Amino acid sequence: MADSEVESQSPEPMAEEEPLFTTLDIFLFTLIAGLLIYWFMSRQKKEEIPEFKKLTTVAPTVRETSFIEKMKKTNRNIVVFYGSQTGTAEEFSNRLAKDAQRYGMRGMAADPEEYDMSELSRLTEIENSLAVFCMATYGEGDPTDNAQDFYDWLQETDAELEGVNFSVFALGNKTYEHYNAMGKYVDKRLVELGASRIFDLGLGDDDANLEEDFVSWREQFWPAVCEHFGVEATGEDSSIRQYELVMHNDINMNKVYTGEMGRLKSFETQKPPFDSKNPFLAPVVANRKLNKGGSRHLMHIELDISGSKIRYDSGDHIAVYPINDVAIVNRIGEILGVDLDTVISLNNLDEESNKKHPFPCPTTYRTALMHYLDVTSPPRTNVLYELAQYATDPKDQENMRKMASSSAEGKALYQSWVLDSRRNILAILEDLSSLRPPIDHLCELMPRLQARYYSIASSAKVHANTVHICAVVVEYETKAGRTNKGVATNWLKNKMVTDNGHKSSVPMYVRKSQFRLPFKASNPVIMIGPGTGIAPFMGFIQERGWLKEQGKEVGETVLYYGCRHRNEDYLYQEELEEFERAGVLTQLNVAFSRDQAQKVYVQHLLKQNKDHLWKLIHTENAHIYICGDARNMARDVQTAFYEIGEEVGGLTRTQAVDYIKKLMTKGRYSQDVWS
């Protein structure tokens, strides 16, 4: 505008008689005013759009996360929530939800992660309602990933749960320090909030027989429910199908799942973030045998995570999705006389269920049996019960039903014939020639094939673009004379860097762990890990070495490692001895259990160095880490620390136990153990 003002102040006499604004001025003024109005209007519109979007997205979410509204809409009065890490608690929940029908009630299994658990108090709006919780404990007494939000809510809430009926079945393992901690907490907390426990807390022990514990609890649970609500069993004990089979004769094969966990074609077009529903296909860049001799195969595998945006810390776990042995899958198809390449969907008969299919559909029977179904674990009793109807020999049918009962004879038969003999579904089909179930019902009943977790054997500070795995290949002969092979380890063993000119890859993601190096590098660390328990400590030692290189003050780094023979299975011997030479490992203590007549284990070496260990723990704030077998080693090591507390610290056994418990509470005694 400044330029046009100068032009209008012309010194010519006629200027006074000219209009105040020229045509150009008016045009420019109109243009600018128009642009201002357009800018103002579009700005206002832009601000309105998020509000509009919010309105459209919030409404369905509220509806979807309300399990109360869903129960009302579908006429359910029992909801069974599961906290599941490996799928067992989810399986038990489905069984309980299905059972409800036999008692004239209607149940639904529910993932607490998908619902607003603060609605629990509204359960009283539904007549004769009951909430059941099948809660597994993970790690050091922690909730499973899908129950974390529910656990947090229980800790923080002061909700009034008066009139809410509930019962809890806990899944755990006695060899762990915090046995069934999550189930016990849920049971105790719900009572504190005023809810009514209608049947005793069930404790399932996976170290003994989890299936038997569940069946025994369930046998008493339902009569208690009937008594509480004044209902009777309807006598309907027949098999109730949950899914219906749909065959696809003319389908575009681009719409068929080929092993993906979530999004169709996710293995072809990989997009971060990578997690359990969207694993990353990591190329294998190294696969070597670690042991120099012996009958076992111990392996070191490196997976390339460049470009995946996957980050990990020392102590984290890598989750790997394995594939079943093709020979087992082919044999199942052969016995049942089916074309495994038939494209099918199993569709949930309950249209309101969040779980539309038992595994990604549409797919082929072959893909389902290779990628999605666990065909190598001994089947649970409910599977035998449901399959019994297809046995044409009355004796086979009777035995299968007996094994699914809670009678002493049935339990003993299941224990010896299925569990002790490690019979998988193929072995059962081979040994019961009259049993030929339809393959679709078999696929409905089989549990999902789960990811396998391994402690990461590297540090991202040193190996930012690779994740290392250290594992032993599982292979053994069963009492029935069959050779059983571990699904994941045998599959990984055959993952060469290149396979027929193609790069081998492994579907994986990283799961965070609480197994962490101390925040202060100057704190000493004591690491105890026999066999493949060395894995996370390779990461820890690499990281301590890196910190030293950065000029950080690093405390004592002490390792207690155990193997059978020095010349056979001393894993990472060269690397460990190099770390010791460089002063990164201040002490390398190795127990060779079978190199002498008297067996020597890590706990014996701990006792030999008791004075030094007590000094590190008691006066220098050392952190203790244990990795490996929970049943024997971890327990024996803990006992050794009690004895050191008594012998060097002058404590009584009770005080020594309390002392170690306090270290656990403070995060100074950590375990990464398995049974």
- What would you report as the CA-atom Rg of the chain, rounded to the nearest whole angstrom? 32
Q: Is 564 annotated as a binding residue?
A: no
Q: Is 601 annotated as a binding residue?
A: yes
Q: 177 with 201: CB under 8 angstroms? A: no
Q: Is 636 annotated as a binding residue?
A: yes
Q: Is 488 annotated as a binding residue?
A: yes
Q: Is 603 annotated as a binding residue?
A: yes
Q: What percent of the residues of the chain are helix, what percent strand, and what percent coil, each to the nearest 5?
A: 45, 20, 40
Distances (CA, A) of 105 to 82, 130, 239, 349: 19, 10, 16, 17
Burial class (CB in 10 A: 0-12, 13-18, 19+), 338: middle
Q: 636 with 601: CB under 8 angstroms? A: yes
Q: For 65-115, where are the alpha helices, taking DSSP H only?
A: 67-73, 88-99
Q: Is 587 annotated as a binding residue?
A: no
Strands (E), 305-359: 317-320, 343-348
637 φ, ψ to 5°? Answer: -65, -45
Q: Is 95 annotated as a binding residue?
A: no
Distance CA 98, CA 105 (A): 10
Q: Which of 266, 627, 629, 670 is catalytic?
A: 627
Q: Is 385 annotated as a binding residue?
A: no
What lies within 8 Å, CB to CB, of 128 at 6+ separation is 77, 105, 229, 231
Q: Is 196 annotated as a binding residue?
A: no
DSSP letter, residue 586: S
Active site (annotated) includes residue 455: yes
Q: Is 2 annotated as a binding residue?
A: no
Active site (annotated) includes residue 361: no
Q: Is 476 annotated as a binding residue?
A: yes
Q: Is 175 annotated as a binding residue?
A: yes
Q: Is 87 annotated as a binding residue?
A: yes
Q: Is 376 annotated as a binding residue?
A: no
Q: Is 460 annotated as a binding residue?
A: no
For 47, the token pair is: 């601000």
Closest by CA position to 303, among listed 572, 499, 509, 571? 509
Q: Is 543 annotated as a binding residue?
A: no
Q: Which of 121, 455, 513, 670 is catalytic?
A: 455
Q: Is 600 annotated as a binding residue?
A: yes
Please report, as a single letter, which amino acid is at residue 206. D
Q: Is 611 annotated as a binding residue?
A: no
State the maximum Cα–Cα separation within the chain, in Å, rounded to a whole number.
Answer: 125
Q: Is 173 annotated as a binding residue?
A: yes
Q: Is 612 annotated as a binding residue?
A: no
DSSP letter, residue 373: B
For 190, the token pair is: 């719900």
Q: Is 453 annotated as a binding residue?
A: yes
DSSP letter, residue 290: -
Q: Is 410 annotated as a binding residue?
A: no
Q: Is 489 annotated as a binding residue?
A: yes
Distance CA 230, CA 224 (A): 10
Distance CA 443, CA 662 (A): 48
137 φ, ψ to 5°? Answer: -105, 140
What lies within 8 Å, CB to CB, of 100 at 6+ separation is 78, 106, 107
Q: Is 392 annotated as a binding residue?
A: no
Q: Is 390 annotated as a binding residue?
A: no
- C-alpha dihedral sign at 28, 32, 35, 37: negative
Please report, as a single letter, which amino acid is at residue 123. L
Distance CA 576, CA 217 (A): 49
Active site (annotated) includes residue 563: no
Q: Is 415 annotated as a binding residue?
A: no
Q: 529 with 558: CB under 8 angstroms? A: no
Binding-site residues for FAD: 422, 452-455, 470-472, 476, 486-489, 674
Binding-site residues for NADP(+): 296, 532, 593-594, 599-603, 636
Binding-site residues: 84-89, 136-139, 171-180, 206, 296, 422, 452-455, 470-472, 476, 486-489, 532, 593-594, 599-603, 636, 674
Catalytic residues: 455, 627, 672, 674
Binding-site residues for FMN: 84-89, 136-139, 171-180, 206
